[in-house]
Homo-oligomer: A and B are copies of this chain.
């Protein structure tokens, strides 16, 4: 760390940054600072000193050079839809919004690749490539508003990961501005890469702590022409979890395989006004999507799926065939998080285990809840073993909520790790899971991660106080 650096005054900082990105893209007014002080993680607020909106790689490079010289913390921000607080400027300094990096630079149909800026909304990319018959499968719940750059930083997943993989699996190459202001490409635009350490994969999921991503080359697939959606009610939540494993054992690979426990679907039905009726004895649902090109084959797969489900106590299966039917069924899963938010103060954990261990995880979460006196609402990407556990404040006193919750979360995470899993599957560690990382990651691993951080960012100016 440079010992001679002195932090400039706010006025000096504004002046210098304005010269780089243009005065009109430097903000210090309260409203803007407040708007960029939070993401979708609980009710956390951290005001930055200044918000800037650079337009291109060269500007980002100059900003980083300036901030590195003056040891000013820089936190890059996508659309602010994160759930781990990774984009919160907890050490103040510069909040760098990537919202002007909003262009799809190239869709290379022949190579099934696209080059995009990090501020492109994920769904916008999906729609643009779909027009050319191409498919960017990764669809986080926030796909309508989140940025692809945020997806890369957090290694985001979503329901389709079970068949198609997470963001990580679609990133071929990244343009990155280092804290020094230097610019690198991390790899090459190729499907196979064995040319030194894989800096591309290291960057994915590094939560903005190693560099600022300014261009992204993604891999595309061809768009599957058809799909079917099934909503399967189970008399037992544990049987629903067991069925997940059995479906894969039967050789089926659904494009989505989502779990919702009873409360999740009840709350979602209330919240959306859905006409779906759930009989009293039903404890959980699986929402299953099959996709492919040939409808005949999809119906064959659906038949095989019914065969697998026969061994469990299931209620009437709802089959979505028309676009409207499918949308109605999906709505319940998609709106479940909003229904939870609407109902109570809550805290969401992004647990992940090998998928056959989901029943133990679910049972363990409930046991822990019973001991600590909280209710939880669980849903998630069961095909990946990725269960979102929403701990509901409801009846808990303010004191219990703050004193007991960390202990309960610790127990939940310890359970995940004991089952071969870890504490975040797709939300990242960011700020809010940081106190718990030691449960999943050993001191030695953390030491290595800190060492890697120092290689990229010796002055620790980039998104400090995140992950570890």
Whether a CB of chain B sits under 8 angstroms from the CB of A420 is yes
| Nearest B-chain residue to A246, judged by Cβ | B110
Residue-wise interface mask of A (225-259) relative to B, using a CB-CB cutoff of 8 A (1 in contact, 0 not): 00000000000000000000100110101000000
CA distance A168 to B198 in the complex (A): 10
Q: When the two chains form their complex, are residues A429 and B194 in contact, meaning their CB atoms are under 8 A apart?
A: yes
- Shortest CB distance A294–B (Å): 7
Q: Which residues of B contact A454 (CB under 8 A)?
A: 451, 455
Q: When the two chains form their complex, are residues A354 and B113 in contact, meaning their CB atoms are under 8 A apart?
A: yes
Q: Which residues of B contact A444 (CB under 8 A)?
A: 178, 182, 184
- Shortest CB distance A79–B (Å): 17
Whether a CB of chain B sits under 8 angstroms from the CB of A422 is yes
Whether a CB of chain B sits under 8 angstroms from the CB of A355 is yes
Which of A293, A354, A440, A448 gathers most chain B CB within 10 Å?
A448
**Contact for A355 among B111, B425, B456, CB less than 8 A:** B111
Whether a CB of chain B sits under 8 angstroms from the CB of A468 is yes
Q: Which residues of B contact A356 (CB under 8 A)?
A: 108, 110-111
Q: When the two chains form their complex, are residues A385 and B455 in contact, meaning their CB atoms are under 8 A apart?
A: no
Q: Which residues of B contact A154 (CB under 8 A)?
A: 194
Q: Tell me which residues from 417 to 468 in chain A have a Cβ below 8 Å from any Cβ of chain B.
A: 417, 420-429, 437, 440-442, 444-446, 448-449, 451-452, 454-456, 467-468
CA distance A449 to B23 in the complex (A): 37
CA distance A157 to B449 in the complex (A): 28
Known A-B contacts A194-B155, A196-B449; the reply to A188 vs B110 at CB < 8 A is no
Q: Which residues of B contact A442 (CB under 8 A)?
A: 184-185
- Shortest CB distance A65–B (Å): 14
Q: When the two chains form their complex, are residues A112 and B193 in contact, meaning their CB atoms are under 8 A apart?
A: no
**Contact for A190 among B221, B353, B437, CB less than 8 A:** B353
Q: When the two chains form their complex, are residues A420 and B354 in contact, meaning their CB atoms are under 8 A apart?
A: no
**Contact for A108 among B157, B350, B354, CB less than 8 A:** B354
- Shortest CB distance A459–B (Å): 14
Q: Tell me which residues from 215 to 230 in chain A have a Cβ below 8 Å from any Cβ of chain B.
A: 221-222
Q: When the two chains form their complex, are residues A429 and B249 in contact, meaning their CB atoms are under 8 A apart?
A: no
Q: When the two chains form their complex, are residues B155 and A422 in contact, meaning their CB atoms are under 8 A apart?
A: no
| Nearest B-chain residue to A434, judged by Cβ | B196
Whether a CB of chain B sits under 8 angstroms from the CB of A195 is yes
Q: When the two chains form their complex, are residues B429 and A196 in contact, meaning their CB atoms are under 8 A apart?
A: yes
Q: Which residues of B contact A188 (CB under 8 A)?
A: 352, 417, 420-422, 440
Q: Which residues of B contact A201 (CB under 8 A)?
A: 168, 198, 201-202
Q: Which residues of B contact A193 (CB under 8 A)?
A: 155, 205, 352, 422, 424-425
> What 5 A-B pairs are tightest by C-beta distance, nearest first?
A451-B455, A110-B356, A201-B201, A192-B425, A188-B422
Q: A: which residues have CB within 8 A of B?
A: 108-113, 133, 154-157, 161-162, 165-166, 168-169, 178, 182, 184-199, 201-202, 204-206, 221-222, 245, 248-249, 251, 253, 293-294, 297, 300, 350, 352-357, 381, 384-386, 417, 420-429, 437, 440-442, 444-446, 448-449, 451-452, 454-456, 467-468
**Could you name 21 residue pairs across A and B whose Cβ atoms are closer than 8 Å?**
A111-B245, A113-B354, A155-B194, A156-B194, A165-B169, A169-B169, A182-B444, A187-B422, A188-B417, A188-B440, A192-B385, A193-B352, A194-B425, A195-B437, A196-B445, A196-B449, A222-B251, A222-B253, A251-B293, A294-B300, A451-B456
A112-B248, A190-B386, A197-B449 known, 15 other contacts, Cβ within 8 Å: A110-B249, A156-B194, A157-B192, A165-B169, A168-B201, A185-B442, A189-B421, A190-B420, A195-B437, A196-B437, A196-B468, A198-B201, A199-B445, A201-B201, A451-B454
